[in-house]
Amino acid sequence: MSEAVSALGNASFEGFATVRELGPMGMITLRARHDLPALTKALQKVLKAELPERRRIVSAGEVRVGWMSPDELLILLPHADVTARVAALTKALGTAHALVTDVSDARCLFAIEGERAAEVLMKLAPVDLAALEPGELRRTRVAQVAAAFWAEEGGFRLVAFRSVAAYVMGLLAHSAQPGSELFPA
């Protein structure tokens, strides 16, 4: 039995903000219409979590549930819990039309932290960071790849695809270089 490893072995970079690769993080894609009653029930029963509003990410203990599209949620949870939760969610959804699948290994997760963390993302994503609302999950691109991020205590979390983890780390490190702060102290 081998241990699962994250894409970059938790690499990190110290610049004017701190960049860390996290994981392995458990992630589940759940596709179902959000107005499906079984969905709300399944989330409550299996994860003790509420259905997030449009473009929001909600937390329940160690679990995060993010709104990805009108019929898609991304669930973040401890890696060890994934298999059991996929099974439980599938069971709870019963015969309703839904798709629940483990995507933990298809993604990578980064933390961008520090008072100037937003300046790192301002260089990479066509997003008005100042207008990012608390609990907002923003899907967009960073430079040339798809990503999603949201604010958390001390900075931001960013999810991207696993195959481009090294590219994303390169982008974040380049953008956090000391001396390249966007605004005066």
Residues lying near other proteins in the complex (CB under 8 A) are found at 1-7, 24, 29, 31-32, 54-55, 67-72, 97-99, 101-107, 119, 122-128, 130-131, 138-141, 143-146, 161-167, 170-171, 174-175, 177-180, 182-183
Instruction: Output the smallest distance, CB 133 to other proteins, in A.
Output: 11
Instruction: Retrieve residue 60's tokens.
Output: 């329940």
Q: Which is nearer to other proteins, 140 or 154 (CB)?
A: 140
Pick from 108, 151, 111, 149: which is nearest to 18 by CA? Answer: 111
Buried-state track 24-41, b at ≥16 Cβ within 10 A, e below 16 = bbbbbbbebebebebbee
State the nearest-atom distance from the C-beta of 164 to other proteins, in Å. Answer: 5
As measured in angstroms, the least distance from the Cβ of 107 to other proteins is 8
| Closer of 37 and 126 to other proteins (Cβ) | 126
Residues contacting residue 172 through CB under 8 Å, at least 6 positions apart: 13, 19, 110, 112, 120, 124, 158
Q: Whole-angstrom Cα distance, residue 75 to residue 58?
A: 10
Least distance (Å) between residue 110 CB and other proteins: 15
Could you tell me the sign of the dihedral formed by the alpha carbons of 120, 125, 130, 134, in that order? negative
Least CB distance from residue 66 to other proteins, whole Å?
12
